[in-house]
Structure 1
Amino acid sequence: MSKQKLEEIVPQEALPQFLATEKSRILLSFKDEGELGLMQSKAGGRAYLPKSEPYPRNGDGQPLSLLAQINFEEMPALDNFPTRGLLSFYVDYNDDIIGIDFDEPTNTNGFRVFYFEDFSEVSYSKEEQDALFESVDKDDFYPVVEGEFWMYGQENSQLLLTDSYDFKKVFGGDFYEVAEKLVGEDDDKLDELFELAEVGSQLGAYPYFTQEDPRKYQEGVRHDTLLFQLDSVGIDTFNYGIIWGDCGIGNFFINLEDLKNKDFSNVMYNWDCT
């Protein structure tokens, strides 16, 4: 985050409130490294899933697909997040809206989140998981991740500069309303401020939406913490190895206390696109 650039855009008296929002996050990047192991951090591919756990399926019995998994031993440490174990996210590629329930975004019919603190149990093999998809109609299959990509992370900081529930809670208004009060109707400065948001795939800190944050209209927001965000991105020779609809973004939210307790049973799933 360019704090110097922020100082050039907003009035000096407004700077402390913005700077006080600084949070650490793990910014995620991806590489095409060929076939990966079941326990590696990745987007797409096949995951570690112990055989004591039924393979996740939608209400019609069709298998869900691995969106991404994070092996925390491969990531930098981040406050409140686990330091070991594996967190995996599955979504429904058999559904053209990728398993989201817009009315009840915690409904797990079309998505699932698993956390395994160790890898002591035998997992379904890649071949066993591949076999589950042999009968899937590829004409009605809508993958977000086109392939399997190694995921790696680096810790950096992020300021609150996106229109969201978080922003409204801190600043008392929508991002655009607050920004116009600070910089007037100077479109160039408004664009510059918006571009400082540093959107990306990440763990923790602040979310981004191509439309709007659905939590802004909820009373008593429970899912107050960004757990995981996956952005549309080109990877190596893939123009868009990861893409949500028309270049959108997906996010998963959790209650902070649940995160501290490693309880991932109540997660909110959202994605939107332009």
Structure 2
Amino acid sequence: MNLSDLLSAYECEFNQIKKQAIRIEMISRDCHLKEDTLDLLTSKFCGKPFIPNSLAYPIGKYNKKPMYLIAQINFSELPELDGLPTMGLLQIFSESDDCTIYESAVIQFISAQQMQEAPISDFSFIEEIAQDEYLATPTHQLRFKTQNDFGNSINNTTINVPECDTVSDLLDKIQNEHKMTDRDFEEVIEKFDSLSSYSKIGGYSVAVQDPFEEDEMMLVLQLDYLNIENAVGDGSLYVHVPKQDLLLSDFSNAEVVYECT
């Protein structure tokens, strides 16, 4: 039995565990940091961020240089998703230093009110980091669409399915009921897990190094570097935020995780 048949045969169970997610589609602008001409308020990967004049541009904790933008999410551009702000900008910055690239990540939220201010327009200071190898990735514009997300075999989130506490339990149940060999089951699992391995907002996180309680935290961003044109790195970036904080557009307790493939 292939994955499509299994999803159909167990439609009721999978409908019990599905979440709404926002898939991120990346459109390369064929330009790099200095040449980015996208509107400063646009959702983007790399490129120039919107920084109101009332805020200082982020400076690296370790190398004391201007940080570079990993991603900027304009919440007003997203399809509606429960738990997320509907306005404001989420920005993730890092140092141009391969030893601390994600250890030093900075999360910044720009409120709708701050977005009305005049922004920094002189980016000449980025010459300090413009040649960094991590900026070889072209700037990408981000576009969004909703889709269902069903988790993955390593996710330990509690689910509401009879005789199954987790997604892994449900998959084991399916294997036993259909008397699948381990080899056939592994192929199904690989395909099933791939359904959650994409750049997205919301849905199930596929992070394994730092598991978190999904009843308390929400996946606000998952970036799959394998599917980003000319990206330096082959892992995934995750941003998890306490759900109660999100209600207040508070990202001060956000957790950033980077996992290599």
Matches for 1:159-178 after TM superposition, within 5 Å = 159-166=150-157, 169-170=158-159, 172=165, 175=168
Match of 2:231 in 1: 242
Alpha-carbon offset, residue 95 of structure 1: 3.2
Q: Do the aligned partners of residues 174 and 206 (structure 1) sit closer, same or farther apart at CA in structure 2, a change above 3 Å counting?
A: closer
Matches for 1:11-160 after TM superposition, within 5 Å = 16-33=12-29, 35-60=37-62, 61-100=64-103, 109-118=104-113, 119-125=115-121, 128-129=122-123, 131-136=124-129, 138=131, 141-143=132-134, 146-160=137-151
Alpha-carbon offset, residue 83 of structure 1: 1.9
Aligned length: 242
Q: What is the CA–CA distance in structure 2 between the aligned matches of 1:255 and 1:51, rounded to whole Å?
A: 29
Alpha-carbon offset, residue 180 of structure 1: 4.6
Residue 41 of structure 2 aligns to a residue whose secondary structure is coil
Q: Do the aligned partners of residues 29 and 65 (structure 1) sit closer, same or farther apart at CA in structure 2, a change above 3 Å counting?
A: same
Q: Do the aligned partners of residues 222 and 254 (structure 1) sit closer, same or farther apart at CA in structure 2, a change above 3 Å counting?
A: farther
Gaps of 5+ in 1: 101-108
Q: TM-score when scaled to structure 2?
A: 0.80
Q: What is the CA–CA distance in structure 1 between the aligned matches of 2:130 and 2:73, rounded to whole Å?
A: 28
Equivalent residues of 1:225, 1:253 under 8 A apart: yes
User: 1:161-217 deviations in whole A, cap 9, x for unaligned?
Assistant: 242343xx4454684x764564154322322233123221111011123xx24126x
Select which of 191, 215, 219 maps to 2:211.
215
Q: Do the aligned partners of residues 187 and 82 (structure 1) sit closer, same or farther apart at CA in structure 2, a change above 3 Å counting?
A: same
Match of 1:106 in 2: none
Alpha-carbon offset, residue 157 of structure 1: 0.9
Q: Do the aligned partners of residues 135 and 145 (structure 1) sit closer, same or farther apart at CA in structure 2, a change above 3 Å counting?
A: closer
Equivalent residues of 1:26, 1:203 under 8 A apart: yes
Match of 1:6 in 2: 6
Match of 2:246 in 1: 259
Q: CA RMSD in A?
A: 2.9
Q: What is the CA–CA distance in structure 1 between the aligned matches of 2:165 and 2:66, rounded to whole Å?
A: 43
Counterpart amino acid of residue 119 in structure 2: S
Residue 72 of structure 2 aligns to a residue whose secondary structure is strand
Select which of 255, 258, 261 maps to 1:271.
258
Alpha-carbon offset, residue 56 of structure 1: 1.2
Residue 257 of structure 1 aligns to a residue whose secondary structure is helix
